[in-house]
Amino acid sequence: MTDLKDLELILRTRTPLIAVETREESRAIALFRRAALAGGLPLYRWSAVDGLSRLDAEQAPQRSLAEPDRLLAHVRVSQGGGIYLLLDFHPYLDDPLTIRRLREIAQREATPAPTLALIGPSVPMPDELRDSSARLELRLPDQAAVRTIIEEEAAAWGQRHQRRLQVRGVVLDALARNLMGLTANDVRRLARNAIHDDGALTEADLPALAEAKYRLLDSGSVLSFELETARMADVAGLARLKAWLDMRRSVFLADSPPPGLDAPKGVLLLGVQGAGKSLAAKACAGAFGVPLLRLDFATLYNKFYGETERNLREALATAGQMAPCVLWIDEIEKGLASDSEGGPSRRILGTLLTWMAEREDPVFLVATANDVESLPPELLRKGRFDEIFFVDLPAAQVRAEIFAIHLDKRGQPREGFALDALAAAADGFSGAEIEQAVVASLYAAHARGTALADADLLAELARTRPLSVLMAEKIAYLRAWAAARTVPAD
């Protein structure tokens, strides 16, 4: 169905009042023009500034009808029906007399009867008028339409600057995907800004565009937009998780999944502290090339006491509008630990489970947890997450890679170090602990005024008692628990 079909359907039912909530006034007017033309109906436009004018024929505007009361009195006795577009009429709906006048027009048994369309950013219909009114929702542009708008903006820029703006097809697709969920006007504005800042449209524009879109959609919710995603290359190990994501990337990004395949919904990453769960969650967004939104349960509970469910629902709806995106819930067990029956976290869990089961937008949920005992069993049931991955302490090979990644990152090329020996000495260390060892030894070397050497790292490792030693029992329990319920991430 198109907007025009929707409108024609409403017109055919002879509903006297139509509420059109939109920030795209000109688009709404254009739509009514087409419907009026097709139906051979007179079309009028009213605003408090210009009064009443006729859109489908030459006729001098009637400024004397700028007063809403006079306009309604005029429509009430008018002959010939037609559609009256009332622009920004909603402030007058506060007045009981205005409401009554509208009601009398709506109840008038004239043929042909006039139709009044109230067009504005928000058109709250008073109860008295609800039965005689319908709502028309303008559809947001789909991916193809968004793509066309971006192409138009690129062409317009090219014409103005006498040079062609080259945009690669994959970039166009990614931009179009990322700007869906916005009105045509907003898409145009954001695309124009992205072109104008540097006269180009590339992958580099994606994060800023996603953030600008998030700012348009979000109204101070408990979601945060994480500019910093990670690349899978920043994550050592977790080979199975990486392969799993790799295999699903194209299906996740497809407009609709190929026949027989379900769209990927999300994963739960369970595991040992510091083993890279949060890092991997961020890298999921990097792997899919989509924005990363983080839902913080602590904020949800603290900031909006008593309104937690509504805020969660709003946050989830915003995530839907940002789709395709990754929604990251870190340490999910902390927000859902079971309290007394009917307590807030039970209801939050209910809201979340319902959303997980019913959502249709491509929002990929990545949740992390390390305390399995406080995880509500409902969350682990088959079908909630596509997969539950267990993130264990890194094996020797992976530890070597973690050293390499963090040495490289700090300007210490990996080639200068005996990675295998370091990995052997870091048996039982988590990724976080290895990173800490690199940081601490760099300080030591800096203090001494010498270059970082294997010996510094080995000394640092020898000084550290990894958590896996201090918490051996807990980790053993976690592994046993995970063996039966999860898939290894590496």
Ligand X SMILES: Nc1ncnc2c1ncn2[C@@H]1O[C@H](COP(=O)(O)OP(=O)(O)OP(=O)(O)O)[C@@H](O)[C@H]1O
**Cβ 297 to ligand X shortest distance, Å:** 14
Q: Binding of ligand X at residue 236 (CB under 6 A)?
A: yes
Of 315, 319, 405, 423, the one binding ligand X (CB under 6 A) is 405
Which SS3 state, helix, strand or coil, does residue 269 take?
Answer: strand
**Binding mask 373-402 vs ligand X (x if CB under 6 A, - otherwise)?**
---------------------x-------x
Round to whole Å and give the CA distance between 257 and 251: 6
Near ligand X by CB under 6 A: residue from 431, 461, 468, 478: 431
Subset of 260-289 contacting Mg ion (CB under 5 A): 278
Binding segment for ligand X among 164-172, 272-280, 358-366, 380-388 (CB under 6 A)? Answer: 272-280
Q: Near ligand X by CB under 6 A, which window of 120-128, 248-256, 273-281, 454-462?
A: 273-281
Say whether residue 241 binds ligand X (CB under 6 A).
Answer: no
**Which residues lie closer than 8 Å to 440 by C-beta, 6 or more apart?**
460
Q: What is the strand order of the sheet 133-136 is part of?
A: 51-54, 43-47, 83-87, 115-120, 17-21, 133-136
Query: Is residue 320 at the binding interface for ligand X, with CB under 6 A as the rule?
Result: no
Closer residue to ligand X (CB): 236 or 422 = 236
431 binds, among Mg ion, ligand X, none (CB under 5 to 8 A by kind): ligand X
Q: How many positions of this chain bind Mg ion (CB under 5 A)? A: 1
| CA–CA–CA angle 380, 253, 388 (5° rounding) | 15
Q: In 3-state terms, what secondary structure has residue 450?
A: coil
Q: Buried (b) or exposed (e) across 393-413, using 16+ Cβ within 10 A?
A: bbeeebbbbbbbbbbeeeebe
Closest CA to 433 of 462, 397, 475, 390: 462
Taking the complex as a whole, the smallest distance from the CB of residue 273 to ligand X amounts, in Å, to 4
User: Segment near ligand X (CB under 6 A), from 233-241, 311-319, 351-359, 379-387?
Assistant: 233-241
Q: Are the C-beta atoms of residues 11 and 115 closer than 8 Å to each other?
A: yes
Q: Cβ 399 to ligand X, closest distance in Å?
A: 9
Pairing of strands 51-54, 43-47: antiparallel
Please state the separation of Cα 18 from the chain's center in Å. 30
Q: Which residues bind ligand X (CB under 6 A)?
A: 235-237, 273-279, 368, 370, 394, 402, 405, 431-432, 435
Q: Which residues bind Mg ion (CB under 5 A)?
A: 278
